[in-house]
């Protein structure tokens, strides 16, 4: 019988966003909800977040961060553009439009 040991690490994931067509009140609500999910706003860059994710690799960490971010944002109608990066792996670019 072979056993596969899965070791997870903690990755810092950087998420830079552009929120188009959204009200200031909705942005404040999203900011608050992201903080509740463990995202830390980077004060020197507008709409940029850092999130710590426990994952097997950098790709999984980025996928987790994207899923959390999108789930928080989908409540509001607007266009979300994001760039997600972790470690030395490829940068992910996503564009999503949320309908009312």
The whole model's pTM is what? 0.85
Task: For domain 9-98, give the CATH number.
Answer: 3.30.70
- List the domain boundaries for the chain: 9-98
Confidence of residue 19 (pLDDT cuts 50, 70, 90): very high
Confidence of residue 7 (pLDDT cuts 50, 70, 90): confident
Alpha-carbon torsion angle 66, 47, 18, 32, nearest 10: 60
d(CA 85, CA 76): 24
pLDDT in tens, 45-97: 888 999 999 999 999 999 999 999 999 999 899 999 999 999 888 899 999 99
Summarize the confidence of residues 30-35 as an average pLDDT: 94
| pLDDT score recorded for residue 3 | 56
Which stretches of 18-100 are DSSP H helices? 24-36, 58-73
d(CA 59, CA 67): 12
- CA–CA distance from 40 to each of 2, 4, 17 (Å)? 40, 33, 13
């Amino acid at each position: 019988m072979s056993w596969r040991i899965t070791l997870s690490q903690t990755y810092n994931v950087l998420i830079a966003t552009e929120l188009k067509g959204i009200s200031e009140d909705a942005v404040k609500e999203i900011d608050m909800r992201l903080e509740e999910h463990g995202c830390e706003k980077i004060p020197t860059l507008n709409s940029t977040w850092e999130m710590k994710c426990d994952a097997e690799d950098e790709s999984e960490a980025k996928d987790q961060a994207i899923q959390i971010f999108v789930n928080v944002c989908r409540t509001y109608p607007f266009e979300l553009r994001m760039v997600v990066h972790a470690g030395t792996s490829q940068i992910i670019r996503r564009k999503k439009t949320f309908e009312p």
